[in-house]
């Protein structure tokens, strides 16, 4: 039997300090942008209209930050998480140079931590992944940790190494795209009058709308990112798995939650950081996604009076409207129906 096919890496294949270049690079096209809009319904003005983006100093409408994130994530799956049990979380994510249609993204990852699970059948792999454009400019970088099966449960465990990751990206490290000016920001075209000054720490926003995930849509979205994980596509193999059916890629849930957040956060024109995130439970075709957001903290950007930042927590649920802001029970466990707990920072205009 030929050994030319690739079965993906198992836990014992990883070593701390190992650097992995991911294939293939991906040129982002206007078709990708249109398909992403069709699959998520995202309505943010800066990524929807060249004219609006140009008024802010962008040369044209940039690619949605989460489309860029999912494209970079997709590069990494074959090498990092093809044999994953679960993608566990994110931290230390920072967006840099905007991505535009026509840009080509390449990605690499560095293994920064390893820890075998208590049953010895798998282990948690921590990686730092970076996506760069064709000029070598960093588009985004982030850390994630994923539980990966072992090829041989009897193989010895590597020394435990768990990286020390920050709770949030410091405001001094947030990147405002070069040349951005907000003196001509038109909130009526953006769809909301609420700017940075209108949000307060502790405020909660129900995004109201729901979006049902169809089987064909979530698989099409995951193919768009070239995410090769079989748990999203192969019903024959997944029929005998933990859930008996295909699982929706978690990045699609993040994208849907961000799209839903337009109702209440329409002027949050750019994502600057992913501070932390957790996929609490799986989503499946037929689930209806809702979301609500808590303002953790308004942040003042050094040297900028035209733009501020908001650190947010967006919680996504399935088949559970969010008028009562479902999150955690009294004992700290997540309430039934919670899918996603996502801590991130956005840029938003300030009043002159």
Cα–Cα distance for residue pair 45/187, rounded to 1 Å: 10
Q: Residue 163 CB: number of other CB atoms within 10 A? A: 16
Q: Where are the alpha helices (DSSP H) in the chain?
A: 30-40, 45-48, 50-55, 65-80, 187-190, 215-224, 235-238, 250-260, 262-265
Digit-coded pLDDT (tens) for 74-97: 999 999 998 888 889 999 999 999
Selected from 3.30.420.40, 3.20.20.70, 3.10.129.10, 3.30.70.1230, the CATH number assigned to the domain covering 15-151+181-349 reads 3.10.129.10
- Most distant pair of Cα atoms in the chain: their distance: 69
For residue 13, give the DSSP letter: G
The residue ranking higher by pLDDT, 6 or 342, is 342
Domain boundaries along the sequence of the chain: 15-151+181-349
210 to 166, 201, 293, 322: CA distances (angstroms): 32, 25, 14, 10
Is residue 51 predicted with pLDDT exceeding 80? yes
DSSP notation for 173-220: G--PPTT---TT--HHHHT----GGG--TT-EEE----EEPPHHHHHH
Q: For tokens 């995130």, what's the residue?
A: 277
- For residue 115, whether the previous peptide bond is cis, meaning omega lies within 30 degrees of 0, is no
Cα–Cα distance for residue pair 218/248, rounded to 1 Å: 6
Helix or strand or coil: residue 76?
helix
Digit-coded pLDDT (tens) for 201-243: 999 999 999 999 999 999 999 999 999 888 888 888 888 888 8
Digit-coded pLDDT (tens) for 163-199: 999 999 999 999 999 999 998 899 999 999 999 999 9
Angle between helices 215-224 and 250-260 (to 10 degrees): 100
Cα–Cα distance for residue pair 213/51, rounded to 1 Å: 31
The whole-model pTM stands at 0.96
**What distance lies between CA 271 and its chain's CA centroid?**
10
Please tell me the predicted confidence (pLDDT) of residue 60. 97
Under 8 Å between Cβ of 129 and 109? yes
Is residue 37 predicted with pLDDT exceeding 60? yes
- For residue 24, whether the previous peptide bond is cis, meaning omega lies within 30 degrees of 0, is yes
């Amino acid at each position: 039997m030929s050994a030319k096919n690739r079965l993906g890496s198992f836990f014992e294949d990883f070593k701390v300090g190992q650097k992995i270049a991911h294939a293939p690079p991906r040129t982002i096209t206007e078709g990708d942008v249109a398909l992403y809009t069709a699959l998520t319904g995202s309505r943010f003005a800066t990524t929807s209209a060249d004219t609006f983006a140009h008024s802010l100093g962008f040369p044209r409408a940039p690619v949605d930050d989460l489309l860029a994130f999912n494209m970079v994530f997709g590069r990494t799956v074959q090498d990092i998480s093809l044999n994953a049990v679960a993608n566990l979380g994110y931290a230390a994510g920072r967006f840099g140079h905007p991505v535009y249609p026509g840009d080509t993204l390449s990605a690499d990852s560095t293994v920064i931590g390893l820890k075998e699970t208590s049953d010895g059948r798998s282990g948690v792999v921590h990686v730092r992944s970076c996506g760069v454009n064709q000029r070598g400019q960093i588009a985004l970088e982030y850390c994630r940790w994923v539980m990966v099966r072992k090829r041989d449960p009897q193989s010895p465990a590597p020394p435990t190494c768990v990286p020390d990751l920050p709770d949030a990206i410091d405001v001094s490290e947030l990147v405002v795209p070069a040349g951005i000016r907000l003196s001509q920001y038109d909130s009526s075209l953006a769809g909301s009058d609420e700017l940075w000054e209108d949000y307060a720490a502790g405020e909660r926003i129900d995004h109201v709308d729901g979006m049902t995930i169809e089987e064909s849509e979530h698989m099409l979205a995951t193919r768009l990112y070239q995410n090769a994980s079989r748990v999203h596509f192969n019903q024959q193999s997944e029929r005998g798995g933990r859930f008996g059916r295909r699982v929706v890629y978690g990045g699609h849930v993040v994208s849907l939650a961000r799209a839903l957040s337009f109702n209440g956060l329409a002027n949050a024109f750019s994502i600057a950081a992913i501070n932390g995130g957790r996929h609490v439970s799986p989503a499946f075709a037929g689930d209806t996604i809702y979301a609500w957001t808590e303002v953790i903290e308004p942040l003042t950007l050094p040297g900028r009076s035209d733009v501020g930042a908001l650190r947010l927590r967006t919680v996504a649920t399935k088949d559970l409207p969010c008028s009562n802001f479902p999150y955690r029970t009294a004992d700290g466990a997540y309430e039934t129906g919670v899918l996603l707990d996502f801590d991130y920072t956005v840029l938003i205009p300030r009043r002159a």
